[in-house]
Amino acid sequence: MKITRTLLSSTIIAAMGGLLFGFDTAVISGTTDALTRVYRLNEPWLGIERDGLWLGFTVASALIGTVLGALAVGRPADRWGRRTALVWMAVFYFVSAVGSALAWDWASFLFFRWLGGLAVGGASVVSPMYIAEISPAAWRGRLVAVQQFNIVLGILLAFLSNFIVAQLDLGETAWRWMFGVEAFPAAAFFFLLFATPHSPRWLVAKGRNEEAREVFARLGTDAGSIDEEIRVIQESLALDHHNLTEPLFQPTYRVPILLAVTIAMFNQLSGINALMYYTPHIFRMAGVGERAALLNAVVIGFTNLLFTMLALTVIDRFGRRVLMLVGSIGYIVSLAATSWAFYTYGTAFTKTGGIIVLVSLMVFIASHAFGQGAVIWVFLSEIFPNRVRARGAALGSFTLWVMNALISWTFPVFAGISGWMVFAFYAAMMVLQLVWVILWMPETKDVPLEQIQKRLHIE
């Protein structure tokens, strides 16, 4: 079937939650030196003097909010709807951007970053879930992958914005402008959301079938008949035997729970967000100057965007497993090469060593964009039945953000001890991911949402 105008516009608008997710995630990478200086993060506090510990905590402060946002958003999204939840995410993004820019002390900065984290966590669950629920099976992979495209576009825009702001000679206020820029897309996201319909599957779950029919008439259906589409959804909900508030953690949902938790853990054990948050810092570790480090971050961002676009065009043709297999192999090769470079050059990097790190990290980000980056939000939005999808996707996202917080907080500490061992650990984790994909990951391409639960033996 063809993509309707409403389907396309609603997908693009919902995926703006991903753009802000990516921007908010990466923007702090250009401010770490300023934050360390302004808030004296290398000075001992509470008797703790470890360099990098308080910087890691400052970066991870947003992730604490992200963990809570991902965990808490499931029930509100079920009760008030996916669109309403996204409206609140837009408000949080805006307040966080303005507040982080105007923060008057370290505590206020941590609070506003935490608030932005709530938005990132919530949007990471609701945006792809909303897109999956409005998409026909033949287009679902590509349309949900627009979320990932927007995430990496947001990351690139953050890197590019940081680079441009750094060239404006704004002095001690430059880092504040880096955060404040996010307020503009956040405001646009808020107003555009009112042009999108509610999820028709959520409407059916709420018994609002006439509204669901109107939305399906604008979006299109898998079954070709709106009445048949609604019947299949009602059957999948099985409300005679289940309800929308039943526990997620029960034997019925064991398989999708294990799949969601595992793919989310591996996503972060690659070290991807250590790279996102500390890109300039990593290049400075490799002997690159400040200006070149920021510029190399932009190169990484462009690589991410390019390979995400490539993955978006093939995810519904080759399937989720093929992309994960290719990405896993790329992870292993690139992380092993990065580890070798830090082991070989240590603190005495030559120009050649810096180039090796840059090329290896470009291969790494390309592998992520083509594999895990493109697949994870699609996969999490597919594998749970309609009746627990919001809470199941929230569990997967919660797991991802807990691991993210752990990795981002510990990276500057362990990288300061041994850079090569950190990247070697990430490479070893990706060997385990490759084994998991080969042995346990199911294929979901071209399968209607209501049929996936049958393939996973969920009644």
C-alpha closest to that of 8 among 172, 160, 218, 299: 218
Q: How many CA atoms lie within 13 Å of 95's alpha carbon, on the beta-carbon side?
A: 16
Q: How far apart are CA 273 and CA 136, in angstroms?
A: 31
Surface-to-core class of residue 410, CB atoms within 10 Å of its CB (0-12 exposed, 13-18 middle, 19+ buried): middle
Tokens describing residue 226: 């709106």
Q: How far apart, in whole angstroms, are the C-alpha atoms of residue 25 and residue 307?
A: 19
Q: Which residues contact 6 (CB under 8 A, 6 or more apart)?
A: 197, 218, 219
Q: Is the pTM of this model over 0.85?
A: no
Nearest to 444 by CA among 140, 2, 128: 140
CATH superfamily to which 5-455 belongs: MFS general substrate transporter like domains (1.20.1250.20)
> Phi and psi of 229, rounded to 5°?
-60, -45
Q: Three-state SS for 94?
A: helix
> Residue 129 corresponds to which tokens in the numbers above?
């879930």
Q: In whole angstroms, what is the distance from residue 397 CA to residue 177 CA?
A: 29
List the structure tokens of 208: 């609002």
Query: pLDDT tens track of the chain, all 459 residues?
Result: 567 888 889 999 999 998 998 898 878 877 877 887 888 777 655 455 545 567 777 777 787 888 888 888 888 888 888 899 999 999 999 999 999 999 988 889 999 999 999 998 899 889 988 998 888 877 777 888 788 788 878 888 888 888 888 888 888 888 899 999 999 999 999 999 999 999 888 888 888 888 888 888 888 776 667 787 788 777 766 644 455 566 777 888 888 899 999 999 999 999 887 777 666 667 666 666 556 666 667 777 788 888 888 888 888 888 889 999 999 999 999 999 988 888 887 766 677 777 888 888 889 989 998 998 888 888 888 888 877 777 888 888 889 888 887 887 777 667 666 677 888 999 999 999 999 999 999 888 877 766 777 787 676
d(CA 273, CA 399): 14
Residue of 252, 264, 265 lying closest to 385 (CA atoms):
252
